[in-house]
Amino acid sequence: MGGGLLSQLLGFFFWGFLWLAGPVAVYSGGPGTSGADAVAVVVDGTAAIAVTDGDFVCATLDWWPPEKCDYGTCSWGLASLLNLNLSNPILLNAVKAFSPLKLRLGGSLQDKIIYGTGDPKQSCTQFIKSTSEMFGFTQGCLPMSRWDELNEFFQKAGAVIIFGLNALNGRVPLSDGSLGGPWNYSNAAALIRYTVNKGYTIHGWELGNELSGSGVGARIGADQYAADVINLRSIINEIYQGLQDKPLVLAPGGFLDTNWFTEIISKTKPNSLDVITHHIYNLGPGVDQHLTEKIIDPSYLDGEAGTFRDLQRILSSAGTSTIAWVGEAGGAYNSGHHLVTDSFVFSFWYLDQLGMSSTYDTKTYCRQSLIGGNYGLLNTTTFHPNPDYYSALLWHRLMGRRVLSTNITGTNKIRAYAHCARESPGITLLLINLSGNNSTTPVFVTTQTVYSAALKQHRRHGAHRTRFNHIPRLGKTSEFTREEYHLTAKDGDIHSQTVLLNGNILAVDSSGNIPELEPVKVEATQPITVAPFSIVFAHIPYFYAPACR
């Protein structure tokens, strides 16, 4: 949209504030607050376009041993499910802060792990590095003593658990390079039975990791995979018989292959597969030296929309009750890239992914990882939160389940997403500024109704007869305020691992407590001022949105 037309429409939007907020003053402008440098966000609050889970934000815990290295860097440390320090207070507080946080337990090695449930035929030995083995490690084992420790932590932290089962047991090589034969589920069934007998709550059991389509390391045909999912459903129904709440069945935890996904969804109807999970590493390998350029490129970010759109088309055309999750997403594969995927700049990619995926009715989004690699929400060594942790926590606390259609005019460098506010009136607007220019950008928020009326009047009378910006200025002080949360990088360095909220550094205290996330209050008549390379969450309680009643 041209700057002249946008300037005129912004004047009309000031009237929109009267309607949105009631009888309050219209913002009267000022230096740098109107014209070509201003942008407008149009939110349609009449009806939700999608609905997410209440615990939409999810994180993963992986199996990788300390010897896991990529490009000469070993970034996993003691972050495995087998050796993670569960007594660290920061870890506990970081998970508890979400109340609840979904945790997906799995990853590349999950299909090479057995469960030490006491079967004398199976020895419980740990992973050993071996270049001749798939993913560079031999078979490993989860002792039940460790499973007990993990569940004690999950219960204390209030986490919601998804467990990825070993889907390669019993497979045999086929002539086409894939693995065939039915899944040998005896070991998995023993773990599930042990879990139920101990009274541990599991929200869902997921079958396999990255075995769909062409696979990663190994692959299984969709017809066989569908049969295995049906078997998993039968096992769960049998073991959980008589219990009120049965866990979800999830699969395949792999990259979207439309033909493969279409077949498995069709063959698991009507009620064997609750959730179809797919993975996202759209930025390429962690060694890529152009990750930052991709992250701040709007057209590159837009490219992933096709994945969400294709999966929703498959689900819609299949007429299934199966829903979609992102089961694992680290952006850059092979453990990410230090000072990119664990720094402030990655929140641009991460929050844009949360916003984009939610508009396509994705119910849950699992970030790789909670801790471990170079893309952890927590630092692998110190457990201190990286910037994305605070981005995730703000999303969880502010963005409600109902997703609203949102468009931004005047720039393509600011991304905008809106949801009904979480457990409070109005809406929450997320703004992501991918531009590093030296001036702040004023953002005005309006409804679809006001925006459409402005365009209609402009087209009817022409720009030369439309004087939207010559509006009488009302002097009454607004009684309406909104809450804003501005995230910026320390010293303006987008590769910093320190993030500021409204100008204050976010850091845990000496006891490992997560800091309070306090907003600033802004009068309704003022535009949202978005700094270069910054992120803003704005809770607007006075925004009239019938979808949010």
Rounded CA gap, 344 and 342, in Å? 7
Rounded CA gap, 162 and 160, in Å? 7
Q: Which residues of 65-92 are buried (b: 16+ CB within 10 A; e: fewer)?
A: beebebeeeebbbebbbbebebeeebbb
Q: Do 535 and 350 form a contact (C-beta atoms < 8 A)?
A: no
Which position among 67, 238, 293, 328 bears the catalytic label?
A: 328
Rounded CA gap, 369 and 286, in Å? 14
Question: Is 206 one of the annotated active-site residues of the chain?
Answer: no
Strand ranges in 117-193 using DSSP code E only, listed in sequence order: 140-143, 160-165, 172-173, 179-180
Rounded CA gap, 487 and 504, in Å? 9
Which among 81, 77, 57 has a CA at the least distance from the CA of 67?
Answer: 77
Return the amino acid letter for 205.
Answer: W
Rounded CA gap, 155 and 170, in Å? 33
Return the DSSP state at 448.
H
Lookup result for tokens 């997320």: 430
Two tokens at 80? 């495995």
Question: Is 423 one of the annotated active-site residues of the chain?
Answer: no
Return the amino acid letter for 94.
Answer: A
Q: Do 430 and 535 form a contact (C-beta atoms < 8 A)?
A: yes
Q: What is the dihedral of CA 320, 323, 328, 333, to 10 degrees?
A: 50
Rounded CA gap, 267 and 318, in Å? 10
Rounded CA gap, 420 and 49, in Å? 11
Q: Do 19 and 450 form a contact (C-beta atoms < 8 A)?
A: yes
| CA distances for 168 relative to 143, 195, 228, 255, 491, angstroms | 19, 21, 11, 17, 49
Phi, psi at 299, each rounded to 5°: -70, -35
Helix/strand/coil percent split, the chain, to 5: 30, 25, 45
Q: Do 335 and 75 form a contact (C-beta atoms < 8 A)?
A: yes
By CB atoms closer than 10 A (0-12, 13-18, 19+), residue 270 is exposed
Which position among 206, 210, 304, 484 bears the catalytic label?
A: 210
Q: Which residues are catalytic?
A: 210, 328
